[in-house]
Amino acid sequence: MNTAMVAGVSLVYLLAMFAIAFWGDRRSGREGGIMQSPYVYALSIAVYCTSWTFYGSVGLAAEQGVHYLPIYLGPTLMAALWWIVLRKMVRISKINRITSIADFIASRHGKRPLLGGLVAAIALVGLVPYIALQLKAVSITFSVMVDHPVAADALVGNGAFYTDEAFYAALILAIFAILFGTRHVDASEHHSGMVAAIAFESLVKLVAFLLAGAVITFVLFSGPADLFDQAADHARLAQLFHMGSPGDYGHWIALTLVSMVAILALPRQFQVAVVENVRERHVRDAAWLFPLYLFAINLFVLPIAFAGVLLLEDSGIHPDTYVLALPLSRDWTALALVVFLGGLSAATAMIVETVALATMLGNDLIMPALLRLRWLRLDRRTDLTRLVLRIRRAAILGVILLGYVYIRATGDSLALVGMGLVSFCAVAQFAPALLGGIFWKGATRQGALAGMAAGFTVWAYTLFLPTLAHAGWVPGSFVADGPLGLAWLRPHALFGLEGLAPVTHALVWSMLVNLGAYVGVSLLSQQDAIERIQASLFVDVFRLSAGRYGISRFWRGSATVDDLFDLLRRFIGEARARRAFDEYARRHGVDLSRTRDADAELVHLCERLLAGSVGTASARVLVSNVAQGEVVSLDEVMEILDEASQVIAYSQKLEAKSRELEAATRELRAANAQLQQLDRMKDDFIATVTHELRTPLTSIRSFTEILHDHPDLDPERRQAFLGIIISESERLTRLINQVLDLAKLESGAMRWYPESWDLKRILQDAAEATGQLFANKGVRLDLELPAGPVPYNTDRDRLMQVIINLLSNAVKFAPEGTGRVRLRLVQEADVLRVEVEDNGPGIPEAEAPHLFQKFRQVGDVLTDRPPGTGLGLVICRRIVEHLGGRIWVDPRPGEGARFAFTLPREASPAGGEGVSKGAG
Amino acid sequence: MSPQSVLVVDDEPNIVLSLEFLMKQAGFDVRVARDGDSALEAVRQQPPQVILLDVMLPRRDGYEVCQTIRANPEWRDVRILMLTAKGRQIEREKGLAMGADDYITKPFSTREVVERVRAYMPQGET
């Protein structure tokens, strides 16, 4: 393919990315811009997949089999923890206006420039190879496209830089990064355009790779089964299906761990996942979308690698370029172009990396240094916003050129994957301070400094120097025999640790040293006031709301409003500064133009706004220059923080208390409802008793008054009226007695006199006592009793009361003249049963269940209510239950009711007591 | 039609007996009903001037009887005196709300009952 064509297509594609970025920036202002989509967020995190993935995975798979997988396994595992880890980082960063990972670590440890500077420096040194890797990939694949077939050793640029494709690629990408990565002076603001372009390139590289994989698998071969069968027959490939020595497992674990960390700590990942995050809940969606992406993009890695080995192994083509070389070998130009563009997309990950690095360098390395240089008189300049942006843009250019210089210097010394892993190990040095910082309050700045410095030194010694040695910049004997011939200092076998892959070896030592120093020094050193505050704000970010326990509470100095405004204006511009102050004044209802001294909150606001532009450490320096006084003492900090945690503990206690109270209230409410019901029942009872008492009393009074007022009444009438008075008086007496009986029974105050009796005799006595009633109404009473005596120990009078009551009821309902009532005693195995049966109308089924309740009389349906108090059956039930038996009614409507009760064969336990508790 | 008729409605035979005696002594024409249905039947046959109406009645209670009578405009001249053995204020109010003209609590003074009934009789026709 000719150069012009490939270059032209590349240029058109990059212009398309420019357009998308431009469009993304234009739309960012509106609600529902592309940043609102969790898919865009997840796709932007896929910036993780660079040229290394696109080309390098195939190369590694072709040479070492499944060893390419841990790089994707790690992030997948970490994604499961994102809701805990990443969300916390996002929350902290939003509150503190964090602009980069260097800023994050510096802010956590007291906002001192030294720590941020160290992180920025490590990132720069560690990531230049990575950026170089991307440039190298672009340049190699460009060569492959133009000169296919090309041998592996003839790849990287030997000509002058202006004939080198990598140089031009570097320039274009730098321009892109400058245009879309430095649009705002506030680096904590979102770069919508850049994120849109990155999401787009993530989609392109995925589609391109899947397309290439599908075509190679299904067109070059007849499906995966065919391809894998052929691979299994290939002597070298067959071996790749097996895991090797135990050291391989260690290597696996090491790679998995390092990539778990990289997905959080790589500056570009921090940029897209934390700084560019607009919604915390996107983290949850990305936690499954991103692993899905990784799965998809790895689907065809093995098939392509196997195809490459099977078809191209003998041609001397570098395995890293198989994915491109396979279509080219068949002259599938279109597919090759698509793949090339996919690879180019993957390489644009460098843009984000560069922007992130430049922000770090500007805010954490260059700016603090410039601020120290008094002779620059930065504090006199009126507008520093352009300076801040210029520094950042220069840093972008510098970083990319450094990457270019690196590939020119080291040549083709390392495969793509190798270079990538060197960078991964470098950023892994951030992990202890990064993760420890958000979960361990005790971690100190000295600990973080010591850990990172030590880990980085080991990394440089065991990984970075050897790559330089490989390129011939350092004598080769340094790696082979150790410096000065000291074998125990050999970079790949430090202190005699041999048999590990260089990366694993470096990782083991650097992390050991890093963690050891971090924890050890942290435990031995003291935090100062600001660091103590920041540690609490970071670790307890979800508990301490920034508003209430923000740093302003710890600020005691004073600054004038004018000084602060002046400072802000110079770094973020007049308009934004004015807006911020107006907003503050509106929210707090103050007139800042008439206020001289700024309160702590305004000072803090300025610091946060500055932090977005120049980083937290520089912001701290700037504000403390303007503001007199310092933060409160460490003791006071502890006090305030303790108070905060006490408030939290107290509120938790309050919550528990209020839960208890709620439960108690519920119980009380239930008890109260029950009481109210009892009260209503008592009320009803009293009303009914009153009614029942007043009724006979009414007749008595009426007739008494009639007799009194009419002395001349004829004797017959006089006699009749007096008879009524007597019978109503009796009724009244009966009622009063029954109410008293019931009260005694219910309260348990009834006295019982159990004696040995013949039960048959008691029944006969009761029949005799009611004989007159039966005779009066012409009702016949039949007794069905056993032949012999039935000895029974009981209270005769109470039992008589029950039977008489039942007999009176029966006669009341039995028809006059033809009425028949049967009184029966049945001896059963364990009980004695007494039955009273009449041939009256029976009882409606619905009435039966209420019959034994107070003042329930059958007869409401009758024209004549039967005389009675409505308490008789209740008293019967109480007595029978007290004697250990049961009473019920067989309603038999239409046939006549049958009442029955049982008595236990053995005298009831209650029967033997003098006074006992009633059954209710 | 006797101009001064009383309908006594109660389910207690002895109370009915005493009221019947008292009303007759006072010179009124007296009819008797033992439950709500027969009370309404009696009114339907010939509306009395005054009804002495017990509240606690079988079949249809006094409130209902009172309401039914008040619902019929033809019977709006019928005076209703409620009788009850339940002396609570709520019952009194309910009775008046249902359209009763007066309310007498049992046990009552015989003289008072007679005077009240007389007071509710249409004037000028005595």
Instruction: Kindly provide the ipTM of the predicted complex, given to two decimals.
Output: 0.93
How far does B109 lie from chain A, in Å, by closest CA? 7
| pLDDT tens digits for range A354-408 | 888 888 888 888 887 877 776 666 556 666 777 888 888 888 889 888 888 887 7
Map residue B9 onto helix, strand or coil: strand
In terms of pLDDT, which residue wins out, A569 or A354?
Answer: A354
* CB contact (8 A) between residue B58 and residue A691: no
Residue keyed to tokens 């038999």? A892
Distance (Å, whole) CA A480 – CA A491: 8
Res. A190 pLDDT band, cuts 50 70 90: confident
Task: Give the pLDDT confidence score for residue A632 in this predicted structure.
Answer: 55
Average pLDDT over residues A137-142: 81
Residue A894's Cβ-count burial label (10 Å; 0-12, 13-18, 19+) is: exposed
Quick one: which of A513, A482, A485 has its CA closest to A498? A482
Distance (Å, whole) CA A262 – CA A70: 12
Distance (Å, whole) CA A800 – CA A794: 11
Structure tokens at A909: 């336990």
Residue keyed to tokens 């009524």? A724
CATH code for the structural domain at A748-912: 3.30.565.10
> Backbone dihedral region of A751: left (phi > 0), alpha (psi from -120 to 50 degrees) or beta?
beta
How far does A860 lie from chain B, in Å, by closest CA? 5
Cβ atoms of residues B35 and B57 within 8 Å: yes
Distance (Å, whole) CA A190 – CA A434: 22
Minimal Cβ distance to B107: which of A697, A709, A860: A697
Residue A866 identity: P
Structure tokens at A410: 């080291």
- Give the helix ranges, DSSP H, for A710-758: 715-747
pTM for the whole thing?
A: 0.59
The answer to whether residue B126 is domain-embedded is: no
Distance (Å, whole) CA A900 – CA A849: 14
Map residue A764 onto helix, strand or coil: helix
Task: Give the pLDDT confidence score for residue B40 in this predicted structure.
Answer: 92
How far does B53 lie from chain A, in Å, by closest CA? 14
HEC-encoded secondary structure of A665-721: HHHHHHHHHHHHHHHHHHHHHHHHHHHHHHHHHHHHHHHHHHHHHCCCCCHHHHHHH
Structure tokens at A768: 């005799």
CATH code for the structural domain at A636-742: 1.10.287.130
Residue count of chain A, please give it. 920
pLDDT of A328 strictly over 80: yes
Mutate to test the interface with A, among B11, B18, B20 (most CBs of A within 10 A): B18
* CB contact (8 A) between residue B14 and residue A724: yes
What is the span of the domain harbouring residue B62? Answer: 5-120
* CB contact (8 A) between residue A698 and residue B106: yes
pLDDT of A859 strictly over 50: no
Q: In the predicted model, what is the mean pLDDT of chain B?
A: 87
Minimal Cβ distance to A691: which of B14, B22, B56: B56
Q: Which residues of A touch B38 (CB under 8 A)?
A: 863
Task: Give the pLDDT confidence score for residue A652 in this predicted structure.
Answer: 76
What string of DSSP letters covers A435-452?
A: HHHHH-TT--HHHHHHHH
- Give the helix ranges, DSSP H, for chain B: 13-25, 36-45, 62-71, 89-97, 110-120
Q: Which residues of B touch A702 (CB under 8 A)?
A: 15, 18-19, 22, 107-108, 110
Tell whether A859 lies on the interface with B, counting CB pairs under 8 A.
Answer: yes
| pLDDT tens digits for range A581-621 | 888 888 877 777 777 777 777 777 777 787 777 777 777 77
Q: What is the DSSP letter of A482?
A: -
Q: Which residues of B touch A698 (CB under 8 A)?
A: 12, 15, 85, 106-108
Tell whether A690 lies on the interface with B, counting CB pairs under 8 A.
Answer: yes
How far does B35 lie from chain A, in Å, by closest CA? 6
Distance (Å, whole) CA A340 – CA B15: 115
Touching B: A residues 698-727, CB under 8 Å: 698-703, 705-706, 709-710, 724
Residue of A nearest to B19 (CA): A702
The answer to whether residue B13 is domain-embedded is: yes
* CB contact (8 A) between residue B108 and residue A865: no
How far does B34 lie from chain A, in Å, by closest CA? 7
Residue of A nearest to B55 (CA): A691
* CB contact (8 A) between residue A699 and residue B12: yes
Res. A424 pLDDT band, cuts 50 70 90: confident
Structure tokens at A747: 């309260």
* CB contact (8 A) between residue B106 and residue A859: no
Distance (Å, whole) CA A654 – CA A669: 22
Residue of A nearest to B14 (CA): A699
Strands A780-784 and A597-598: unpaired
What residues contact residue A366 under an 8 Å CB cut-off, 6+ apart?
A: A391, A395
Q: Which residues of B touch A711 (CB under 8 A)?
A: none
Minimal Cβ distance to B15: which of A692, A699, A705: A699
Minimal Cβ distance to B110: which of A705, A724, A861: A705
CATH code for the structural domain at A37-416: 1.10.4160
Cβ atoms of residues A320 and A55 within 8 Å: yes
Distance (Å, whole) CA A757 – CA A768: 17
Tell whether A864 lies on the interface with B, counting CB pairs under 8 A.
Answer: yes
Task: State percent of chain A over pLDDT 70.
Answer: 82
Contacting A with CB below 8 Å, chain B residues are: 11-15, 17-19, 21-22, 25, 34-35, 38, 56, 58-59, 85-88, 106-111
Cβ atoms of residues B85 and B106 within 8 Å: yes
CA atoms within 13 A on the CB side of A470: 18
* CB contact (8 A) between residue B86 and residue A865: no
Mutate to test the interface with B, among A683, A698, A705, A862 (most CBs of B within 10 A): A698
Quick one: which of A17, A51, A8 has its CA closest to A141? A51
| pLDDT tens digits for range A774-832 | 998 899 999 998 888 888 888 888 899 899 989 988 888 888 888 899 999 998 888 89
| pLDDT tens digits for range B55-99 | 888 778 888 899 999 998 888 889 999 988 876 777 778 888 888
Distance (Å, whole) CA A816 – CA A839: 11
Q: Say how many domains are in chain B.
A: 1
The answer to whether residue B125 is domain-embedded is: no
* CB contact (8 A) between residue B12 and residue A710: no
The continuous run of DSSP H or E covering A12 comes out as helix A3-27
In chain A, domain spans: 37-416, 545-632, 636-742, 748-912
CATH classification of the domain holding B27: 3.40.50.2300
Map residue B48 onto helix, strand or coil: coil
